[in-house]
Amino acid sequence: MSKESAGRKGGNRRAEILPPSRRSEIAREAAMKRWSDEGKAVPLFAKYGAIDRPLRIGEIEIPCYVLADGTRVLAQRGLQSGIGLSQGGGKTGARRIAELMAGLAEKDIDVRGLIARANSPIRFIPPHGGNPADGYEATILPDICAVLIDAGQKGVLGKARTHLAVRAAQLQHGFATVGIIALVDEATGYQDFRQRDALAKILERFVAKELRPWVRTFPSDFYKQIYRLNNWPYSENAGRPGVIGHWTNNIVYKRLAPGVWEELKRLTPRLPGGDYKNKLFQRLTEDIGHPKLREHLAAVLMLMKYSPDWHVFMDRLDKEFPQWGSNYMLPFPDDYKPPETGEAAN
């Protein structure tokens, strides 16, 4: 056996006994050195994430990573297929997403700067090494979903792309910036390394210290759909049964972000009869909490309109937008009667 062959064999044996993390580190270093030797710009490298640990939302999977500088990224091709765009046609993910947004901008849809963002992907080396990949900051996904839902509601997607609005509603799991980051951290395993005050930071961004002025927030369609799904006669000026408050807590507040529902309850005083003194949404922050409430309501309304009855809607809701900490609801018996009083959203 030649010295060269013996060296390769010994190297392979040493690699076999190394832990996976060390093998990945060696692969990254080799890839970065190769790019540097070729005179090319060295991409960032991903420290967390794996092909078999994608971001999972329902049945949708998008490969995701956390870079060495803490940036959470979604793989470009995975993002493209995740939002429902086809892979064929010879166009890259960046071009397809950018062209989709450019077309919507021409139809007076606010695309939130997504054309430029789609055309500026982040190049990185995956944890296992190999060729560089392109991706986007994870926070791009909630914005894409919001744009597609808006376009679907305004009827400008066209028949061939109406599925994009439905897919966006499935993805928009009460997406806040911190929400998508938390999902990526869980998928990549980075959550074990996050600061312990992460929940406190979420509540700080979502829940306001001062009470906001009352502004009509829940559209009448929200309540009309509840009545339709339950086969109840609807009247605009009639009083609502107390159970609607319980359902509103379930459908909306418990699905916005971790801990938000509990914090809203804690901060909102009650009247002697047990009702809340103020509307829960008055405690949501102007820049994060309130906009995400509106986006969540839009996604829920779309799901309501595609459901034939209450039980089907709740099954779909729990599947697509599960509550933080649980993803099921207690079944009501067939002879269930709504309570007249009790803890209810208002």
Structure tokens at 333: 């018996």
| Least confident stretch, 164-168, 214-218, 292-296, 297-301 | 214-218
Which of 83-97, 154-168, 290-304 is predicted with the least confidence, judged by mean pLDDT?
A: 83-97
DSSP code per residue over 327-340: ---PPPPTT----S
- Band (6; pLDDT cuts 50, 70, 90): very low
Average pLDDT, integer, range 284-303: 84
In 193-293, which ranges are E strands? Answer: none
Burial classification of residue 227, based on how many CB atoms lie within 10 Å of its CB (0-12 exposed, 13-18 middle, 19 or more buried): middle
Q: What pLDDT is attached to residue 235?
A: 82
Task: Give, in degrees to the nearest 5, the angle at Cα 142 between 346 and 67.
Answer: 130
Least confident stretch, 3-7, 108-112, 180-184, 311-315: 3-7
- Tell which residue, 98, 178, 107, 95, has the closest CA to residue 138: 178
- Measured N-to-C along each axis, helices 220-229 and 310-320 cross at an angle, to the nearest 10 degrees, of 120
What is the reported pLDDT for 330?
Answer: 44
Taking 60 as the threshold, does the pLDDT of residue 7 lie above it? no
What string of DSSP letters covers 118-133?
HTSPEEEE-TT-SS-E
**What are φ and ψ of residue 275, in 5° steps?**
-75, 155
Q: Kindly give, in sequence order, each residue whose CB lies less than 8 Å from that of residue 289, ignoring residues fewer than 6 positions away.
A: 205, 206, 207, 208, 256, 260, 283
Give the per-residue pLDDT at 36.
58
pLDDT in tens, 188-233: 777 666 554 555 666 666 666 666 665 667 888 899 999 999 999 9
Question: How does pLDDT run across 244-286, given as a tens digit for each residue?
Answer: 988 998 998 888 877 887 888 888 878 887 777 778 878 888 7
Q: What is the mean pLDDT of the chain?
A: 77
* pLDDT over 70 at 19, yes or no: no
Q: What is the pLDDT of residue 336?
A: 46
The answer, yes or no, to whether residue 174 has pLDDT greater than 50, is no
pLDDT of residue 106 exceeding 80: yes
Residues 6+ apart with CB under 8 A from 271: 277
